[in-house]
Structure 1
Amino acid sequence: MSTPDYHLEEELRAQGFLRIAGVDEVGRGPIAGPVTAAAVILDPAAIPEGLNDSKKLTARRRDALEQSLRACAEVAVAHASVEEIDEINILRASHLAMERAVAALDPPPDYLLIDGNLIPRDLTLPARAVIKGDAISVSISAASIIAKTCRDRLMVDLAQQYPGYGWETNAGYPSVSHKNALRNLGITPHHRRSFRPVHNILYQDKSVSD
């Protein structure tokens, strides 16, 4: 099975683009918590070994790679809140988080490699969407690792404030135990009300009260 490499970046560098940022997001599927994006500019002379799609790595390996990336690469992280997700939908919110992460890089990149098949509409920099990019480009895989580790830590912190939902292990995804807790403990301010499992409980509760 192939692993991500630097060939897309090398092609772009040959065209004169030197500050190439990989951009990825994590957290479109959970029913709780924000969506998180990262933008990473790698130093071609100091690329950590073992970069890959964050979902293919153990938590320990992700944490180690995050530390390496923060030591040798330019890294920016941003979020879109639960309120924004419910207001503008998860796709647009994930793009908003990407736009914020890119804007946080200073100086700005001169080219973006973005995971997926769409380029966020408010990005004005030259960019390419790369389907399954975290398995193709090390810059995108680096961004996926940074976004995943940051969001997982955030959900562990939220789990301390709202125990019982298992966010420290399910990261807000709709596991059976999470959905059971939703029914038994109720909806928190960090649940996405536009997502079906949460929306259905709200609707059922309203029907009962009516």
Structure 2
Amino acid sequence: MTSTAQGSYYASLDMPNNPLFKELKTTWQVPVKPTKYDVNNIFIWNGIGPRSGGHIIQPVLDWNGTKWRTVLVHNVDGNYLYSDYVDVEPGDMLTGFIRLNSHTANHYEYAAGFEGTAFAATHRTIVCPVPYNQLVQCLEPYSTDITTYPHQDFVSMANINAKFEAADGTEINRGGQWLMDNRASLKRNNVPSLKNGIIVTDGINGGRIDFYFR
């Protein structure tokens, strides 16, 4: 009988009363390079999308089989729009950001990418017809062969900080609960630690989620 690993590789934020999203930042370190080649990509990202699903804005760290690189992705019903890529090395620190610049009825303008002038090629402005209020943290390995993953225990999605705006205009920068999506496609039960995703620090003020490779 196969044991079930704790957590999953996909965490979404449950935020009471569905306030207006204003900003999300997450910091993580580029993992070591996998030592076994695989044609399948590994993606590590934070992101936001509408609660109805189908769309998402993602600052993505991508392992393409030969190197790590960063890119901003906007997925609209399976149609992917990409920024330019910026190569990175193991040990580099990344902060993926998304913020709401302005909004009117049916017009929500977001800025997103990776922080820093070195990552200016990933910076984009994205206009959406609906608000994106669902926050996500994700490790997305397309291979089920864990020997093709980075040879380290886990990657920490750390310093998770977000801001929302309540109906009365006040800022919300605390609270919320990260929830693991336990669908089979988002789990790998063959990891030795029997851990996939662990919520180390909950919430949106210095939150942390560890995703396990081993």
Fold match by TM threshold 0.5: no
More strand by share: 2
More helix by share: 1
What's the TM-score, normalizing by structure 1? 0.28
